[in-house]
Amino acid sequence: MDYYCITDTGLLRDKNQDSYIAITNTYGDFLVLVADGIGGGNAGEVASGEVIKYFDEVFKESGPFASIEDVINYLNYHVSAANKRVYDYSVKYREYKGMGTTLTGVLLTANGTVSINCGDSRVYGFIDEMMVQLTVDHTLVNQMLEKGQITYEESINHPKKHYLVKAVGIFDKCSADIHKVKDMDYYLVCSDGLHAYVDEEQIAKIVLDKEKTVRQKVEDLKDLALLSGGYDNITVVLIER
Question: What is the total count of domains within the chain?
Answer: 1
pLDDT, tens digit, 9 for 90 and up, residues 37-89: 998 778 999 999 999 999 999 999 998 999 999 999 999 999 999 999 999 99
* CATH code of the domain containing 118: 3.60.40.10
pLDDT, tens digit, 9 for 90 and up, residues 81-108: 999 999 999 999 999 999 999 999 999 9
Domain range for 125 is 2-240
Determine the distance from the C-alpha atom of residue 168 to the mean position of all C-alpha atoms in its chain, rounded to a whole number: 12
Q: How confident is the model at residue 155 (pLDDT cuts 50, 70, 90)?
A: confident
C-alpha torsion sign, points 77, 85, 232, 154: positive
pLDDT, tens digit, 9 for 90 and up, residues 109-147: 999 999 999 999 999 999 999 999 999 999 888 888 778
Over the Cα atoms of the chain, what is R_g? 17
Q: What average pLDDT score do residues 194-214 get?
A: 97
- Length of the chain as a residue count: 241
C-alpha torsion sign, points 96, 100, 105, 109: positive
83 phi and psi angles, rounded to 5 deg = -60, -45
120 phi and psi angles, rounded to 5 deg = -125, 15
Average pLDDT, the chain: 95
Task: Give me the pLDDT at residue 160, please.
Answer: 72
- Torsion on CA atoms 197, 79, 164, 7, rounded to nearest 10: -20
